[in-house]
């Protein structure tokens, strides 16, 4: 009976927690469109390092928002909300424009970096997407090869026929396509073969303990082999330490992205990181594991 007494209090506590998170959601949804216009959001770039050549010529663009009252709002949180509320098209348009402007600057400086932008499921229902992107590239006088796009398995599964059509158009334009978070969704590599993509990104869940966890190591090794035999490149997401790097080299993983090399950086810091990496890339790999 003692907990019967506690129950009303617990309910009130639970209710209050729910109200707070509901309030937070409403604030995020209310403020996002204006925040985009006022440039409260910004983009950070995380290097993708090529293991074979030990160089970096690409990065992933990740969106950041510091809300005036809420502080840092993680992208996972506000992207999901924007998807449900129909605001995601605004976010995608904003990030594509911002990245294209940055790419144009880098391109003029002779830095030929390919930047990958994440698309949401909803973006892949828009048949105008390829022509919108073509117009954007033209406006910034950029070749299609500087832009890459990342889509999740789930986004493809919602309407495979239409999504494959859109992806095929993008690929024909010369844009690099990757399947993101691979291994966390429903699809198999056999299914991926039907998708017009160049690359699979193995989810961080399989990479983070790869040096200790024999199952994860097997999954990454087998996935890499199979992806290669299907003509796909492999990027490992979320590498944090050198022991994991040695495994990924051993499995002939093509590219690595993770805190081991760098956290996502502002465009200025990314340029600096790139310069340093070019000057001393051997030191990152270390003597003992070079093959």
Range in contact with ligand C2E (rule: CB under 6 A) among 10-18, 124-132, 191-199, 237-245: 237-245
Listed in sequence order, the residues at least 6 apart from 144 whose beta carbon sits closer than 8 Å to its beta carbon are 134, 137, 173, 174, 175
- Measured between its terminal Cα atoms, the distance across the chain in Å is 68
Q: Of residues 1, 4, 76, 186, which one binds ligand C2E by CB under 6 A?
A: 76
Integer-rounded Cα Rg, in Å, for the chain is: 21
| Count of residues in the chain | 291
Q: Which helix (H) or strand (E) holds 56?
A: strand 55-67
Q: Which of residues 85-124 bind Mg ion (CB under 5 A)?
A: 118
Q: By C-beta, is 28 or 149 nearer to Mg ion?
A: 149
Q: By C-beta, is 63 or 189 nearer to ligand C2E?
A: 63
CA distances from 76 to 1, 81, 95, 118 (A): 42, 9, 15, 12
What's 184's DSSP letter? S
Residue 47 binds ligand C2E, judged by CB under 6 A: no
What does the alpha-carbon distance between residue 180 and residue 202 come to, in Å, rounded to a whole number?
Answer: 7
Residue 259 binds ligand C2E, judged by CB under 6 A: yes
Residue 199 binds ligand C2E, judged by CB under 6 A: no
Residue 205 binds ligand C2E, judged by CB under 6 A: no
List the Cα angle 246/278/147 in 5-degree steps.
Answer: 90
CB of 46 to ligand C2E, least distance (A): 6
Q: Give the contact letters, 90-129, x = binds to ligand C2E (CB under 6 A), - = no.
A: -----x----------------------xxx---------
Residue 74 binds which entry of ligand C2E, Mg ion, none, CB below 5-8 Å type-dependent: ligand C2E
What does the alpha-carbon distance between residue 67 and residue 38 come to, in Å, rounded to a whole number?
Answer: 11
What does the alpha-carbon distance between residue 145 and residue 191 come to, in Å, rounded to a whole number?
Answer: 25
Q: By C-beta, is 31 or 181 nearer to ligand C2E?
A: 181
CB of 264 to ligand C2E, least distance (A): 5
Q: By C-beta, is 75 or 196 nearer to ligand C2E?
A: 75
Residue 244 binds ligand C2E, judged by CB under 6 A: no
Residue 62 binds which entry of Mg ion, ligand C2E, none, CB below 5-8 Å type-dependent: ligand C2E
Q: Of residues 153, 181, 199, 216, which one binds Mg ion by CB under 5 A?
A: 181
Write down the H helix ranges in the chain. 2-37, 75-85, 88-108, 129-139, 153-157, 160-173, 189-192, 204-207, 214-229, 242-250, 267-279, 281-285
CB of 49 to ligand C2E, least distance (A): 12
- Contacts to ligand C2E by CB under 6 A: 46, 62-63, 74-76, 79, 95, 118-120, 150, 180-181, 204, 237-240, 257-259, 264
């Amino acid at each position: 009976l003692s907990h019967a007494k506690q129950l009303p209090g617990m309910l009130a506590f639970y209710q209050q927690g729910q109200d707070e998170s509901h309030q937070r959601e409403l604030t995020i949804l209310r403020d996002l469109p204006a925040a985009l216009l006022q440039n409260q959001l910004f983009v950070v770039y995380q290097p993708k390092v090529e293991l074979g050549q030990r160089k970096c010529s690409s990065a992933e663009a990740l969106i950041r928002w510091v809300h005036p009252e809420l502080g840092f709002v993680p992208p996972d949180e506000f992207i999901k909300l924007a998807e449900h509320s129909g605001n995601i098209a605004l976010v995608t348009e904003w990030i594509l424009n911002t990245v294209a402007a940055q790419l144009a600057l880098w391109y003029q400086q002779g830095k030929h970096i390919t930047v990958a932008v994440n698309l949401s499921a909803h973006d892949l229902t828009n048949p105008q997407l390829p022509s919108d992107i073509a117009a954007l590239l033209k406006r910034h006088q950029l070749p299609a090869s500087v832009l890459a796009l990342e889509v999740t398995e789930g986004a493809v599964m919602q309407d495979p026929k239409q999504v494959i059509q859109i992806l095929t158009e993008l690929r024909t334009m010369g844009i690099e396509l990757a399947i993101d978070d691979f291994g966390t969704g429903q699809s198999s590599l056999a299914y991926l073969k039907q998708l017009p993509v160049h690359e699979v990104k193995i989810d961080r869940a399989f990479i983070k303990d790869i040096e200790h966890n024999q199952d994860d190591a097997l999954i990454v090794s087998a996935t890499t082999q199979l992806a290669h035999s299907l003509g796909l490149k492999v990027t490992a997401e979320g590498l944090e330490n050198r022991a994991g790097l040695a495994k990924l080299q051993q499995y002939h993983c093509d590219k690595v992205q993770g805190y081991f090399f760098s956290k996502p950086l502002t465009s200025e810091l990314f340029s600096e990181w790139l310069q340093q990496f070019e000057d001393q890339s051997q030191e990152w790999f270390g003597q003992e594991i070079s093959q």
